[in-house]
Chain A
Amino acid sequence: MEDEAFTDICGKPISLDCQSHSSFCREFIISSPKVSMGKVMVYTCSVWLLAYAVFFFTQNTAVLSGAILVTLVGMMLHIHFVKVDHESLLVIGSLGIQVSSSYASGREITTFIEMSKIKDIVINEAIYMHQIIYYLCVLLKDPSEPDAVSSVVPLFQSSKPRLNCLVKVYKSCQEILSKCQ
Chain B
Amino acid sequence: MVLKIFFPQCCNRAESGLLVGRWISGHDSAVVLAVIHYPFIPGQVKQYIQQSGVELTVLGSWSLPKEGQESMESFLRDLSTIFPQQRWLQVSRQMGKMGFICEVVNRNQKTQQEAKKQNDDEEEEKVIFVHYEQRKVMLSQLHPTESGDPDLDTEPPSELKQVFQTVARSQPLFFLDRYDDGPLKSTHWQSEGREASIIVELLKQASVPLCVLISWLLALWTWLCSIRIFSLYPLRFLSSKLSTCVQISYRTEHMRTLSSPKPAIEHKQFMRKGNILVSFLVDVGLGVLLMSWLYRDDHIATLANMLMPAADHVAKELEELLQWLMGAPAGLKMNRALDQVLGRFFLYHIHLWISYIHLMSPFIEGILWYGGLSACLGLTFALSLLSDMVALLTFHIYCFYVYGARLYCLKIYGLSSLWRLFRGKKWNVLRQRVDSCSYDVDQRYINAIHYFVCLFLTPGSRCVVQLRLVVVLFQGVLHLSVDFINSFPLFAMGLRLFRPYRLAEGVKFQVLCEEPGTALHLLMEINPLKCSTVVQLYRTPTYSCYPRDSWAALVKKLFVGELIYPWRHKSTKVD
Contacts and interface: CB of A to CB of B under 8 A. Distances in A.
Interface stretch (A61-69, A93-101, A120-128, A155-163): A93-101
B2 A24 contact: yes
Interface in B157-183: 158-160
Contacts of A90: 509, 511
B190 interface: no
Interface in A68-111: 90, 92-95, 98, 100, 110-111
A27 B158 CA distance: 24
Interface residues of B, number: 23
A21 B507 CA distance: 20
B476 interface: no
A143 interface: yes
Nearest to A19: B511
Contacts of A142: 155
Interface of B: 1-2, 4, 27-28, 126, 128, 130, 154-156, 158-160, 506-509, 511, 514, 520, 522, 527
Contact of A95 (B4, B156, B506, B527): B4
A153 B115 CA distance: 40
A111 B507 CA distance: 8
Interface of A: 21-25, 27, 90, 92-95, 98, 100, 110-112, 114, 116-117, 142-144, 180
Given A92-B509, A95-B128, 20 more contacts: A23-B126, A24-B126, A25-B520, A27-B511, A90-B511, A92-B128, A94-B128, A95-B509, A95-B522, A98-B508, A111-B506, A111-B527, A112-B507, A112-B508, A114-B160, A116-B159, A143-B155, A143-B156, A143-B158, A180-B1
A98 B509 contact: yes
B509 A21 contact: no
Nearest to B130: A95
Contacts of B2: 24, 93-95, 180
Nearest to B511: A21
A112 B27 CA distance: 17
A92 B522 contact: yes
A142 B154 CA distance: 12
Most buried by A among B2, B522, B527: B2
B520 A21 contact: yes
A110 B527 contact: yes
Given A21-B514, A117-B158, A100 B508 contact: yes
6 contacts: A21-B514, A23-B126, A94-B1, A94-B28, A95-B130, A112-B509
A90 to B, nearest CB: 7
Contacts of A94: 1-2, 4, 28, 128
A94 B520 CA distance: 13
B154 A144 contact: yes
A22 B156 CA distance: 30
A93 B235 CA distance: 69
A144 B1 contact: no
Contact of A112 (B4, B128, B155, B527): B527
B511 A114 contact: no
Main secondary structure on chain B at its contact with chain A?
Answer: strand
B244 to A, nearest CB: 42
A96 to B, nearest CB: 8
Nearest to B514: A21
Contacts of B511: 21, 25, 27, 90
B517 to A, nearest CB: 11
A114 B128 CA distance: 15
B123 to A, nearest CB: 14
A1 to B, nearest CB: 14
A114 B154 contact: no
Nearest to B121: A23
Contacts of B508: 98, 100, 110, 112
Contacts of A22: 126, 514, 520
B409 to A, nearest CB: 46
Nearest to B1: A94
Nearest to B160: A114
A114 B159 contact: yes
A107 to B, nearest CB: 13
Contacts of A25: 128, 511, 520
A86 B154 CA distance: 39
Given A21-B520, A24-B2, A24-B126, A144 B507 contact: no
Task: Give the 3 A-B residue pairs with the shortest CB-CB distance, closest first.
Answer: A94-B2, A110-B508, A22-B520
A34 B527 CA distance: 27
Contacts of B1: 94, 180
A95 B158 CA distance: 11
A90 B154 CA distance: 30
A180 B527 CA distance: 25
Contacts of A112: 506-509, 527
Nearest to A93: B2
A20 to B, nearest CB: 11
A180 B155 CA distance: 22
Contacts of A92: 128, 509, 520, 522
Contacts of B27: 116
A24 B121 CA distance: 14
A144 B509 CA distance: 26
A86 to B, nearest CB: 15
Contacts of B154: 144
A73 B153 CA distance: 47
Contact of A116 (B126, B128, B158, B522): B158
Contacts of A95: 2, 4, 128, 130, 509, 522
A111 B508 CA distance: 7
B99 to A, nearest CB: 12
Contacts of A93: 2
Nearest to B519: A22
Nearest to A21: B511
Contacts of A117: 158
A111 B506 CA distance: 7
A9 to B, nearest CB: 29
B572 to A, nearest CB: 50
Contacts of B130: 95
A81 B107 CA distance: 54
A144 B27 CA distance: 16
Nearest to B518: A22
A158 B509 CA distance: 22
A94 B127 CA distance: 11
A27 B511 CA distance: 9
